[in-house]
Structure 1
Amino acid sequence: MQTIGLIGGLSWESSAAYYEGLNKGVQQRLGGLTSAKIVLVSVDLAEVTALQHADDWDAVAAILVEAARGAERAGADFLLLASTTIHRVYDQVAAAVSIPVVHLADLMAQRLQQAGIGTVGFIGTKFTMEDTFFAERIAEAGIDVNLPDPIHLDTLDSIVYDELVFRTVTASSRKRVLTIIDELTDAGAEGVIFGASELSLLIRPTDLDVPILDVITVHVEDALDRALA
């Protein structure tokens, strides 16, 4: 079994879901008392978020590079960036280590192609919807990516950062997100990517008539395949 490197803390709630998913997945596949070999380096979400708001992505990259090098030194065989937004500095991180760094957008594109989905809706934090680096990488695989109307961006950002990272789930926020998703599907989306992993706390697959691609599920399943290959 290979050792999975995980850069977490972005938020710690989603990192806990990664940790649980990886360990449950190994146990389901191998049985008995088996658990995943994981190197987790957790950074400070408050520090990283402040730098994002200051548009200081070089400083964000420096934090993530240090974390990635720490995971590599600790024995990680490959690395996951446990945040869609942090993929904004993927190139800097990948260049700083000698182990593979898995790009989540590439995994999403593969899943969409396998499912025969040609148009997908994408919702996440304001950073990932305004700076379309993540959606553009998926689009390079020939998939149309529908983004929410700009009037919804602040609402989605507030729901993620002011509520869901603290595990606060409200009926009003759930209704708002479902309305945004309805707009995306009405515009032709055949599935929806939850680009902020915390959104899975709010919306369940049974709530929608189209498939949900949750970033944690896709990331974890690929990591298990790699670690146990």
Structure 2
Amino acid sequence: YKHINTLTLSQYNHNAKLVLYSMDFGEVTNLLQNQQYEEVQNQLVQVAKKIECSGADCILMCSNTVHQFAEEVEQAISIPLLHIGDVSAEEIVEHDVKRIGLLGTKQTMEQDFYKTRLANYGVETIIPKEDERNFIHHVILHELSKGIISQQSKVRFLQIIQKLIENGAEGILLGCTEIPLLISQKELSIPVFDTAFLHAKTAVQFAG
């Protein structure tokens, strides 16, 4: 929301016209952890339909994790869904990055919905080891989502990123909207891609 309005104000000197539906992500997280995927999908489809009926010209799902249901949501509506994976891939390709290190929730890192989108653009995805993925997921859920910024967690994140670089990553994709609270471009010498910002920028360009 902040990114969209900041970009709209800077480019067009007014605020964005938005239809905002805030879901209880704690509920969504619990459903995902209990593998109740159909229920999450149904909720997302119903919300997307409500947004479309409210007059929106496009839809953004402002969470990387729920993009595992993007195809089902797209099929249920008649307006475009701006997929965060496509948005990210286009920016990555523009920077001539061929191998990307992906950070996010366990679902985002381990499932194929993100990797497949990136592969469609010729981008190979590298993910952290299992214990590192567990740590990242824990920090997202129990620290960053609650506004807790830990220097100790930041140091560990940077160590994990360094290992990804050693394994061939040419850029880092912050595949969770909370991770930029902890990690930014200034800490790294390779390109860092903030999916939340890129998603917002594409929405503003679409609406422009």
Q: TM-score range by the shorter chain?
A: over 0.9
Q: Which moved more, 1:194-203 or 1:136-145?
A: 136-145
Give the structure 2 partner of residue 82 of structure 1. 62
C-alpha displacement at 1:88, in angstroms?
A: 0.7
- Normalized per residue, the structure richer in strand is 1
Q: Which amino acid aligns with 1:27?
A: L
Pick one of 165, 169, 175 that aligns with 1:195.
175
AA at the equivalent of 1:38: L
Alignment correspondent of 1:47: 27
Q: C-alpha offsets along residues 3-48 of structure 1, whole Å, 9 cap, x if unaligned?
A: xxxxxxxxxxxxxxxx1111111110112xx100100011111211
Please tell me the residue identity of whatever aligns with 2:2: E
For residue 21 of structure 1, what is the aligned residue in structure 2?
3
Q: Deviations over 1:50-107 (max 9, x none)?
A: 1101111110011101110111111100000101110011111111111111111111
Residue 179 of structure 2 aligns to a residue whose secondary structure is helix
Give 1:91's aligned residue.
Answer: 71
How many angstroms apart in 1 are the aligned matches of 2:21 and 2:194? Answer: 22
Per the alignment, residue 161 of structure 2 pairs with 181
How far apart, in 1, do the equivalents of 2:96 and 2:6 lie?
A: 28
Deviation at 1:110, TM superposition (A): 0.9
Structure 1 residue identity aligned to 2:11: R
Find the counterpart in structure 1 of residue 52 from structure 2. 72
1:171 equivalent to 2:151? Answer yes
1:132 offset after TM fit, Å?
Answer: 2.5
Structure 2-normalised TM-score?
Answer: 0.98
- Secondary structure of the structure 2 residue equivalent to 1:192: strand
Residue correspondences, number: 208
User: d(CA) in 2 for partners of 1:227 and 1:20?
Assistant: 16
Cα distance in structure 1, aligned partners of 2:145 and 2:27: 15
- Alignment map for 1:110-189 (pairs within 5 Å): 110-189=90-169
Whether 1:217 aligns to 2:189 is: no
Look up the match of 2:82: 102
Q: Does 1:227 align with 2:199?
A: no
Q: How many Å separate the matches in 2 of 1:184 and 1:44?
A: 33
Which consecutive residues of structure 1, in runs of 5 or more, have no partner in the other structure?
Answer: 1-18
1:155, CA displacement in angstroms?
0.4
Shift of 1:172: 0.5
Q: Within 2, Cα distance between the matches of 1:69 and 1:162? A: 31
